Amino acid sequence: MHNGFLQVEGEKMSKSLGNFVTINELLATRNFGSQPWHGRVIRLAMLGTHYRQPIDWTVDRLVQARSTLMDFGSFLHEVPVAAEPHPEVIAALSDDLNTPSAMSIIHGVAKSAHRNAQAAAQLKATLQFLGVYGDEKQVDFAVGYEAASVDEAQCRGTHRRPQRARARPRTSRKPTASAASCRPWASSSRTPRTLPPARSKPRGR
């Protein structure tokens, strides 16, 4: 649920501007950020803004949400779940669905969850309550990494030049449009080429 103004990369979403995008397109196509996006990543990105406030839908916003969920997946997978979500999160949501405040509390709990099993169990219960995490592994949220890897391989093959007998002195050049289009991870999507290492699960005290 969101009834504030919706922008895309700083501009009002409009078919006339050619920046109209649907949830189905985000899930199944590469129309936004040159890659598809996991459904939970989209949901987490939306929860960062209050439902009555304007929301600026950007690739960076989705990348940040994906990075957060991949971090959660690195240490919450197969961790036991607490019986109830965090009470402070429930209190924030009870205050006119204050999701930005709830997310701030969640990030605070996550810092303790890295080293405390009880905090990890409560964090997992809270994320499941919000519908942004089930029991996914870190790699499950890496939708789009594969697309970027394929693009990189294709660009290497397409733009490979034969070696010359004599090397020319190096000169500074600005990247061409074709070269930039072959590096979506270096511009809009900012996708790393390798996954970050999984973290060890928290231990109980």
| Span 77-120, pLDDT tens digits | 999 999 999 999 999 999 999 999 999 999 999 999 999 999 99
The backbone torsions φ and ψ at residue 7, rounded to the nearest 5 degrees and listed phi first, read: -120, 155
pLDDT in tens, 33-72: 899 999 999 999 999 999 888 889 999 999 999 999 999 9
Higher pLDDT among residues 6 and 45, named by residue: 45
Confidence grade of residue 18 (pLDDT, cut at 50, 70, 90): confident
CB 63 within 8 A of CB 13: no
The interaxial angle of helices 87-94 and 99-113, nearest 10 deg, is 170
| Averaged pLDDT, 134-151 | 75
Rounded to 5°, the CA angle 132-21-190 comes to: 65
- 182's tokens: 């072959």
The amino acid that residue 176 corresponds to is T
Share of the chain above pLDDT 90, in %: 52
Closest-CA residue to 125 (of 170, 87, 166, 155): 87
The backbone torsions φ and ψ at residue 18, rounded to the nearest 5 degrees and listed phi first, read: 75, 20
Per-residue model confidence (pLDDT) at position 9:
82
- 167's tokens: 């090397």
- The structural domains of the chain, with segments of one domain joined by +, span 6-141
